[in-house]
Amino acid sequence: MRVGTTGQFLGTVLAVQANFYKVQLDQEAGQEESREAGEIVDLDSPLLPAPLPLLLCTRRTRLKKIGQQVMVGDRVVVEEPDWSGRRGAIADVLPRQTELDRPPIANANQILLVFAVADPPLEPYQLSRFLIKAESTGLDVVLCLNKSDLVTPKEQQEISDRLLAWGYQPLFISVQQDTNIEQVAKYLSQKITVVAGPSGVGKSSLINALIPDINLRVGEVSGKLARGRHTTRHVELFELPGDGLLADTPGFNQPDLDCSPEELIHYFAEARERLAHANCKFNDCLHRDEPDCAVRGDWERYEHYLEFLAEAIARQTQLHQQADPESTLKRKTKGKGQSQYEPKLESKKYRRTSRRTQVQGLQDLYHDEE
């Protein structure tokens, strides 16, 4: 096949901004087949720029008509590139291996969950919530604990033992002291990794250490709230030295848990271990007060499980209520994330009459008297 204006190239979407897509074309030498029945382009051809540039692309109208979304991390086919203007058009999106909704990213292999052991202090409940959210994606989870230079070796060992009981082997690092950064880089090699975690734990600083030329904006921890300020505004993939892509995501302190009550227990690593060796008496066991439950017990995060379970049940109830227009209940949010359901008021009986209706009524009354 020849190289020309009709040539098609494979690439990866690194960022999405408005209706434009930053696409990095593949750099491999030799020939690359863009799709099963597509055109083969010789990337060694002297007609092509070297290295292949980062293109700012639009999406073909055909993709819009069929509702094909283009996400960060997508493998795409770019056609008719304008090398001088560094522009192109996305003609097709290849099948995704994985897909996340929040953050919106395709083809990720693993999640690098970053927390700090101090400043802000490590909060077990918050960490557990992030771990459950990460486990629910089905991706591999790597737990990385930053600012290890702020705790003693004894404290570090206590944290390690505690998390081992949870089912995780944490990797202790210090971006400030350049501790174990190379070990983190080994975990990221040849993979698309999503960096997640609360604000202020050093995610941007870690990415700056892994990719020295990137210069991400770094925020400080709020002294009043002991929480970090958000510094990342949108999802973007960054190329790691050597190989691999890293997705920085906006920091947040309390990720939503959108799994069903029945699924929740499988996102606790220590509970999975218990279920692997014994089965509950009932297939629909929620592991609260059912007899002969293999999970209920004295493991540390069981209290977290019960809190998350109550939240999952409330969410499921809310979804059922929204799906049932004849429901007589409504959800009322109370303090500290709690909620309860109350009877709905009868429709028009308790509504205040609008001023427009009142004026119209007075006008009708005036005309009647005439």
Spans of all domains in the chain: 8-95, 105-248, 261-343
Torsion of CA 59, 64, 66, 71, to 10 degrees: 60
Q: Are 268 and 215 contacting, i.e. CB atoms less than 8 angstroms apart?
A: no
Is 263's pLDDT higher than 50? yes
Q: What is the pLDDT of residue 45?
A: 53
Q: Are 177 and 149 contacting, i.e. CB atoms less than 8 angstroms apart?
A: yes
Q: What is the pLDDT of residue 275?
A: 93
- Which tokens is 313 given? 């049940």
- Confidence band, pLDDT 50/70/90 cuts, at residue 82: confident
Q: What is the pLDDT of residue 257?
A: 86
Cis peptide before 120 (omega within 30 of 0): yes
**227-251 mean pLDDT:** 72
Q: Report which of residues 222 and 303 the model is more confident about.
A: 303
Superfamily of the domain at 261-343 = Probable gtpase engc; domain 3 (1.10.40.50)
- 178-184, Cβ contacts within 8 angstroms, sequence gap of 24 or more: 178/209, 179/148, 179/149, 181/206, 181/209, 181/210, 184/112, 184/144, 184/210
CA–CA distance, 79 with 2 (Å, rounded to integer): 14
> At the top level of CATH, which class does the domain 105-248 belong to?
alpha beta
Q: Report which of residues 195 and 252 the model is more confident about.
A: 195
Q: What is the pTM of this model?
A: 0.74
* Beta-carbon-side half-sphere exposure of residue 105 (alpha carbons within 13 Å): 28
Inter-axis angle of helices 124-136 and 302-323, nearest 10: 60
Amino acid in the structure at residue 91: A
pLDDT digits (tens, 9 = 90+) for 347-361: 444 455 566 665 565
pLDDT digits (tens, 9 = 90+) for 164-208: 999 999 999 999 999 999 999 999 999 999 999 998 899 989 999
- Confidence band, pLDDT 50/70/90 cuts, at residue 11: very high
Cis peptide before 325 (omega within 30 of 0): no
- Topology adopted by domain 8-95: OB fold (Dihydrolipoamide Acetyltransferase, E2P) (2.40.50)
